[in-house]
């Protein structure tokens, strides 16, 4: 019985026969190498396209001693910022012909119990750590194979890993300097989680900006907001109960800032005339709050793409680098500056 077209796997030998080039040369070209003329390379690639050739990844991994896959360990998939990071990382991996295996950590679980061992069992070529909770996981240092190329988006116990991210202290500085520049002097801050390095660094930036302006730091103006809208709402209510004459607020992320806007509205406080608000992250919702939210833009997609580029550079060429800091910038909207008086910058 005649085999139906397209059901048989097209081999390198088939491509070589079609192009009239030796098997060895064809194999090298199809694997991205080979020292041949551009005409010969084009003939091989055209033959491969005509036949519908698809590389045999198992055979390639045996030759290259790589699986052409990397692992990504993350946490909450519902986090929009994390989704942007993962999108950037996956697209860069795909661009370089690598597959991605993603494993998430359970809310009360540990990466060392399942995620990391599972990645290593699958012989991934490298690992991208993209879960904030890993910075608190002491066992990570013992489980992580330091010979395996690894990049992290957060500092981890033991250090020694290449990290990619933004300057969180600079974020706190930018936001608070903006409020001070508007003449606000009673400025509160909603922080995400005490002890977490991101939160502590942004708090340092807030304090540094106050010191620059010779405004005394008041611990009573700092409230825990738990990184979410409801936490920001409750934290703002507590803050207003203690300090009803608050004139400015830096929330360490946009979700807490949105909760704070709601609490200010309920308290009858006008934004921005009575209390200016600045968030951080520049989430999709930020331009559509009432009023639109001034925020510090953090390049999440670019962070994921850059982290994957560095990881694959380590995998393919053994190239390592120090920490990579991506720039952030302030986006001014109506929650801090009245549009009627804003000059458009």
Residue 328: both structure tokens together: 């952030």
* pLDDT higher than threshold 60 for residue 138: yes
Residue 10: both structure tokens together: 């097209």
Q: What is the pLDDT of residue 104?
A: 79
Q: What is the pLDDT of residues 210-269, one digit of tens each?
A: 999 999 999 999 999 999 999 999 999 999 999 999 999 999 999 999 999 999 999 999
pLDDT tier, 160 (very low <50, low <70, confident <90, very high otherwise): confident
Domain 168-299 carries which CATH code? Answer: 3.40.50.2300
Mean pLDDT of the chain: 86
Q: What is the pLDDT of residue 139?
A: 63
Domain ranges of the chain: 12-55, 69-165+300-326, 168-299
Q: What is the pTM of this model?
A: 0.78
Q: Do domains 69-165+300-326 and 168-299 have the same CATH topology?
A: yes
Give the pLDDT mean for 169-191.
98
The β-bridge partners of 332 are none
* pLDDT higher than threshold 50 for residue 1: no
Q: What is the pLDDT of residue 51?
A: 83
Q: Return the CATH architecture of domain 69-165+300-326.
A: 3-Layer(aba) Sandwich (3.40)
pLDDT tier, 65 (very low <50, low <70, confident <90, very high otherwise): low
Q: What is the pLDDT of residues 277-294, one digit of tens each?
A: 999 999 999 999 999 999
Do 179 and 276 form a contact (C-beta atoms < 8 A)? yes
Q: With CA atoms as reference, report the closest residue to 135 among 86, 75, 205, 208.
A: 75
In sequence order, what DSSP letters do the residues of 163-223 get, joined into one string? EEEE-HHHHHHHHHHHHHHTT--SEEEEES-TT-HHHHHHHHHHHHHHHHTT----GGGEE
The CATH class of 12-55 is mainly alpha
């Amino acid at each position: 019985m005649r085999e139906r077209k397209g059901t048989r796997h097209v081999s390198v030998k088939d491509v070589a026969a079609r192009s009239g080039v030796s098997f060895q040369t064809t194999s090298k070209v199809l694997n991205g190498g080979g020292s041949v003329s551009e005409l010969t390379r084009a003939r091989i690639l055209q033959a491969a396209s005509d036949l519908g050739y698809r590389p045999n990844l198992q055979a390639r991994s045996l030759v290259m001693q790589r699986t052409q896959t990397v692992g990504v360990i993350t946490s909450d998939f519902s986090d929009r910022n994390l989704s942007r990071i993962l999108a950037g990382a996956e697209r860069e991996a795909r661009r370089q012909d690598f597959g991605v295996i993603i494993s998430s950590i359970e809310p009360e679980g540990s990466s060392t119990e399942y995620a990391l061992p599972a990645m290593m069992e699958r012989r991934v070529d490298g690992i991208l750590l993209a879960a904030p909770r890993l910075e608190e996981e002491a066992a990570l240092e013992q489980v992580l194979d330091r010979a395996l190329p690894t990049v992290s988006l957060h500092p981890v116990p033991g250090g020694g890993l290449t990290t990619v991210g933004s300057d969180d202290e600079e974020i706190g500085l930018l936001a608070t300097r903006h409020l001070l520049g508007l003449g606000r002097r009673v400025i509160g801050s909603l922080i995400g989680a005490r002890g977490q390095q991101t939160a502590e660094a942004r708090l340092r930036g807030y304090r540094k900006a106050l010191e620059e302006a010779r405004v005394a730091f008041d611990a009573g103006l700092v409230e825990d907001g738990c990184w979410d809208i409801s936490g920001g709402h409750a934290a703002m209510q507590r803050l207003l109960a203690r300090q009803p004459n608050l004139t400015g607020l830096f929330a360490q992320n946009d979700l807490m800032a949105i909760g704070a806007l709601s609490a200010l509205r309920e308290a009858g406080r006008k934004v921005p005339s009575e209390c200016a608000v600045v968030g951080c992250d520049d989430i999709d919702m930020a331009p559509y709050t009432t009023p639109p939210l001034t925020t510090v833009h953090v390049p999440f997609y670019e962070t994921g793409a850059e982290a994957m580029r560095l990881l694959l550079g380590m995998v393919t060429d053994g190239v390592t680098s120090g920490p990579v800091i991506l720039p952030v910038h302030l986006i001014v909207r109506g929650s801090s500056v009245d549009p009627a008086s804003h000059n458009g910058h």
